[in-house]
Amino acid sequence: MFYAETPNPSIRQGDIFEGLVNIGIIPSKFLTVNTLNKEHNPCFSVNLAFGYATIITPCCDIQKRDYLAFCPLVPLQDKVRQNEFFNENPTRLNLKVEPENMVPKRVWDGFSDSEKAIRTRTGKRYAFVHNFVFQKFEGIFPNDMVIDFSCVFNISRKTLVSRQ
Per-domain residue ranges for the chain? Answer: 1-75+144-164, 77-142
Residue 150 vs residue 83, higher pLDDT? 83
Which of 54-58, 76-80, 99-103 is the most confident on average?
Answer: 99-103
Q: What percent of the chain has pLDDT over 90?
A: 31
Residue 130, pLDDT above cutoff 80: yes
Asked if the model's pLDDT at residue 43 lies above 80, the reply is no
Pairing assessment for the beta strands 16-29 and 43-55 based on DSSP bridges: antiparallel
Write out the H or E segment, with its range, that includes residue 132. strand 131-134
pLDDT band at 28 (very low <50, low <70, confident <90, very high): low
pTM above 0.75, yes or no: no
Tell me: the pLDDT tens digits for 94-121? 999 999 999 999 999 999 999 999 999 9
pLDDT computed for residue 36 by the predictor: 58
The pLDDT of residue 1 is 36
17 within 8 A of 51, measured Cβ to Cβ? no
Asked if residues 7 and 17 have their Cβ atoms less than 8 Å apart, the reply is no
Average pLDDT score, the chain:
80
Please list the alpha-helical segments (H only) found in the chain: 59-62, 78-81, 84-88, 105-110, 113-122
